[in-house]
A and B are shown apart, each in its own frame.
Chain A
Amino acid sequence: MSLIEVKDLEVHYPIRSGFWNRVTDEVLAVDGISLDIEAGETYGLVGESGSGKSTTGKSIVGLEKPTKGQILYKGKDITKPRNRHELDYNQDVQMIFQDSLSSLNPRKRIEDIIAEPLRNFAHLSKDDEKLRVLQLLDIVGLDADALYKYPHQFSGGQRQRIGVARAVATNPKLIVADEPVSALDLSVQAQVLNFMKKIQRDFGVSYLFISHDLGVVRHMCDNIAIMHRGRIVEIGTRDDIYNHPMHIYTKRLLSAIPETSVEHREEAREHREAVEKEFQENQDRYYDKDGKVLPLIAVTDTHKVAMPQDEVDELQREDD
């Protein structure tokens, strides 16, 4: 059984208007997505701004109330607050945010920031708590003198590691990481990603890794779902997505990643423009008449794509 099963999740935001301020329309931020996160894996959720990837992450943590659908943990639907409480869900699922400065309370010392989830869930003695905080700092490579400092005294990368330490404090089963390295410099990003991988090796935690950076996602993730307009356009293993992309939107994202090879830049641009042209001209092959993403169709056991069946068959023939 998967660690977390998301089933037909929908999150709608109401649009109010008119004299009585009634709900006249809805934004379908998340419009029916399903995915299974296995224990100990890193699951990539990729999309551009407005694709619904962050809303999905927040729903899984419980920060956003789904309109429809279920999120199953140990067989129970945790969109119901009673089940969340019963399963200690809030202890087992933690979150890392993109902006480490605004997500850490500026008036609290690092000791208190990291100890906060412990105080909520673990109820340790004062000494044990301090020991645990020191241990957590050590896991993310920070010294003991960090204990009494405040968030603004650290660099962006150090703050992000503090965020990781706080998320790990309660020995969670799943950490939802929303663009955890997008605001960081390259060399600092490498450090944070290494720590995240090390923690996974040592403690077997799963990550839901939300990002727009396909290079980082390829490095981190075992399974990947590509989101567009609130739905999943393609889902599969790293190999499926990067080496056998089928949906035009996936191809479009992949073609937009800048490569560090100077020689092939003209070819890369031509390829990118060809993909963009196909994306613009063949909307009706990949999206329904309202511009919605089509239902997913299984290509292989691991690989699903939102295209009509005959298109899939054709592409597969070409592949063979």
Chain B
Amino acid sequence: MWKTILRRLLIIIPEIIALSILVFLLAKAMPGDPFTGSINPHASLAHIHHLMRINGLYDPWYQQYWNWVVHLFHGNLGMSYEYQEPVTRIVGERAINTLWLAVFATVMTYAIGLPVGLYAGRHQNSRSDHAIRIYTYVTLSVPFFVVLVLGLWIFGYMLGWFPTTGSINTNAAPGMGSVISRIQHIVLPGLLQAFFSLTGIVQYLRSEVIDATHSDYVRTARSKGVPVRDVFRHHIFRNSLLPITATAGYAITGLLGGSVFTETIFSYPGMGLLFVSAINYRDYTVITALVLLFGFLNMLGTLLSDIIMAAVDPRIRIE
């Protein structure tokens, strides 16, 4: 098993190289340049050409790519054109913000989604099951950003229960004060995000439970004289939760990806927002760094999911 994991990790290396070249070329292929918008509008074309040249943007692409790779290995992802700060620092700050929000949202998603999904499957066609189904249909048919905007308007502006922008109050006292402020900032977007993403879990789990209820091994258990309550506990729930645990691998890597919608609407300075603005401003260094990071996390997530699956399901072996 360890051999396989090591092999899978090694395979990630060429994948990352291929991905980085692709990302690098795509970033280069985008029209526009990083300077026109950010310097004195009266600057001459010649001056912009000069800036492009000294920043190496006229070198052949492989030259630029090579420079970038060399820097990468020194832990230097370059300077952000937009913020004039090292990319690593910007990404690091945003990653922490996103992590706060995402951990909260994910925990809420599973904490609510698992019991609700199990309940809906167990009490199929009950009144609560119908209510849950209506809820899942609504969340599937209403666009996410509409819900976010509505939530922001109702709970943020009208009721004023939660802050509406940012990730922390700059005037918050250090220590506990800043932690409390951070939490205040993530509750509303986190809950809204959770309420949206738990739909998938609820629906999936519900149908898994219903399938398992009609399976032959459940009939076997019942014909042993196991009471229905225990059949659910020992057979159905356990077997139904299994496929969900495998998605945990992806969920963990998704934590750092950030949500473009949530972060944009709540002006929450996280990875999603950073990514959108980097694209808008042609902040190449940031774009390449982010895409590379997301790509790496994705590959890691797939591996992680496979490992979890092999750990919990005896039928699957990593060999």
- Residues of chain A whose beta carbon lies under 8 Å from any beta carbon of chain B: 17-21
Q: Could you jot down 7 A-B contacts, CB within 8 Å?
A: A17-B319, A18-B3, A19-B3, A19-B6, A19-B7, A20-B7, A21-B7
* Shortest beta-carbon contacts, A-B, top 3: A19-B3, A19-B7, A17-B319
* Residues of chain B within 8 A of A18, CB atoms compared: 3
CA A19 – CA B319 in complex, angstroms? 9
Return the chain A residue nearest B3 by Cβ.
Answer: A19
CA A226 – CA B293 in complex, angstroms? 59
* Residues of chain B within 8 A of A17, CB atoms compared: 319
CA A21 – CA B318 in complex, angstroms? 12
CA A20 – CA B7 in complex, angstroms? 8
CA A129 – CA B7 in complex, angstroms? 55
* Residues of chain A within 8 A of B6, CB atoms compared: 19
- Residues of chain B whose beta carbon lies under 8 Å from any beta carbon of chain A: 3, 6-7, 319
Question: In terms of DSSP, what is the predominant structure of the interface of chain A?
Answer: loop
CA A55 – CA B159 in complex, angstroms? 70
Return the chain B residue nearest A17 by Cβ.
Answer: B319
CA A21 – CA B7 in complex, angstroms? 9
CA A20 – CA B6 in complex, angstroms? 11
CA A18 – CA B4 in complex, angstroms? 8
Q: How far is the CB of A134 from chain B (nearest CB, A)?
A: 40
CA A207 – CA B7 in complex, angstroms? 48
Q: How far is the CB of A24 from chain B (nearest CB, A)?
A: 11
CA A19 – CA B7 in complex, angstroms? 7
Q: How far is the CB of A261 from chain B (nearest CB, A)?
A: 34
* Residues of chain B within 8 A of A19, CB atoms compared: 3, 6-7
Return the chain A residue nearest B6 by Cβ.
Answer: A19
Return the chain A residue nearest B7 by Cβ.
Answer: A19
CA A18 – CA B2 in complex, angstroms? 11
Q: How far is the CB of A33 from chain B (nearest CB, A)?
A: 31
CA A17 – CA B7 in complex, angstroms? 12
* Residues of chain B within 8 A of A20, CB atoms compared: 7
Return the chain A residue nearest B319 by Cβ.
Answer: A17
CA A20 – CA B3 in complex, angstroms? 9
Return the chain A residue nearest B10 by Cβ.
Answer: A19
* Residues of chain B within 8 A of A21, CB atoms compared: 7
CA A19 – CA B3 in complex, angstroms? 6
CA A18 – CA B7 in complex, angstroms? 10
Q: How far is the CB of A17 from chain B (nearest CB, A)?
A: 6
* Residues of chain A within 8 A of B7, CB atoms compared: 19-21
Return the chain B residue nearest A21 by Cβ.
Answer: B7
CA A292 – CA B278 in complex, angstroms? 67
CA A82 – CA B6 in complex, angstroms? 43
Q: How far is the CB of B115 from chain A (nearest CB, A)?
A: 36
Q: How far is the CB of A228 from chain B (nearest CB, A)?
A: 28
CA A18 – CA B319 in complex, angstroms? 8
Return the chain B residue nearest A20 by Cβ.
Answer: B7
Q: How far is the CB of B12 from chain A (nearest CB, A)?
A: 15
Q: How far is the CB of A18 from chain B (nearest CB, A)?
A: 7
* Residues of chain A within 8 A of B3, CB atoms compared: 18-19
Return the chain A residue nearest B4 by Cβ.
Answer: A19
